[in-house]
Copies of this chain bind each other. A is one copy, B any other.
Amino acid sequence: MSKVLVTGHKSPDTDSVSSAIVYAYLKNKQGFDAYPVRLGEVNKETAYALDYFNVEAPALADDEAKQDVEEVILVDHNERQQSIDDIENFKIIEVIDHHRIANFETRDPLYYRAEPVGCTATILLKLFRESHIDIPKDLAGLMLSAILSDSLLFKSPTCTDEDIKSALELANIAGVDTEAYGMEMLKAGADTSGKTIDELLTMDAKIFEVGNDQLEIAQVNTVDVADVLEKKQAITERMDEIIQEKQLSFFLLVITDILNNDSTIIAGGNENEKVERAFNVKLDDDTAVLKDVVSRKKQIAPVLVKEFS
């Protein structure tokens, strides 16, 4: 049987890494020869979760990992620019995702399971139930971590009742206290003090295509927004360079305060008018605070995509 790679998106977050590991496990139980991979460095939050539940990080999707591979399964994403660079060399046999569908095309029918829930792991829990396969304790811990990460401890508007119910069920299997574990994990990922400008801008960045425009939206969680804003001058300069290098139409950095659930945005490039219209705010020196905004998927990307359409 040929190897199948299971991969999340570039700039992997806890859901992308965990879901790759967990779904590869499920596919192996179903008779596939599946291997989880990742498309970038493991971030500190994910490292905390992997360490806590004593699970190894997936291998990087390099040439060695891709050797003799013809088929891939995408988790937690579908858009081509967020996926493996040479995705056109592989047959995508499955997608498990909770995002909008865009810039995605196949030549053949496939299994595609998307649900408008807050986290891929919530869908994976259903797939385990439908397959009547038990979830090992450590993997339940990773799935719980993914839900807590994507939902910012159930505070994000993307979080559904099903995500909460799934998280509590998984916490039970994993044997951890949801609130206490969740806050420690988020804090591990939200320590921005030692981060370089490039790390801040690439840790969790996604590109969205709108017609011929490419919009990049990076997001960092922090417990100290002021600490990040101190580097604003250097951040905007680097954003403008990246816009040039990648030929982007626009770059937005979203700094999310995980303690009060507001976000501060820094707008790169020359699209401040569109940003002000999209969020109904006034930018002050390229910056504004968005009250109660924490979700790129639900509160940021859609309004920007609409503004650039």
Residues of A near any B CB (own CB < 8 A) = 98-116, 130, 297-298, 302, 305-306
Contacts and interface: CB of A to CB of B under 8 A. Distances in A.
Given A109-B297, A112-B114, 14 more contacts: A98-B109, A100-B106, A101-B101, A101-B104, A101-B105, A101-B106, A102-B105, A102-B106, A104-B104, A107-B305, A107-B306, A108-B302, A109-B116, A111-B115
A111 B116 contact: yes
A108 B114 contact: no
The interface residues of chain A, by DSSP majority, are classed as loop
Taken together, the copies of this chain in the complex come to 2
A60 B116 CA distance: 29
A302 B111 contact: no
Contacts of A108: 100, 116, 298, 302
A19 to B, nearest CB: 15
A293 B284 CA distance: 65
A299 to B, nearest CB: 12
A217 to B, nearest CB: 14
A101 B109 CA distance: 7
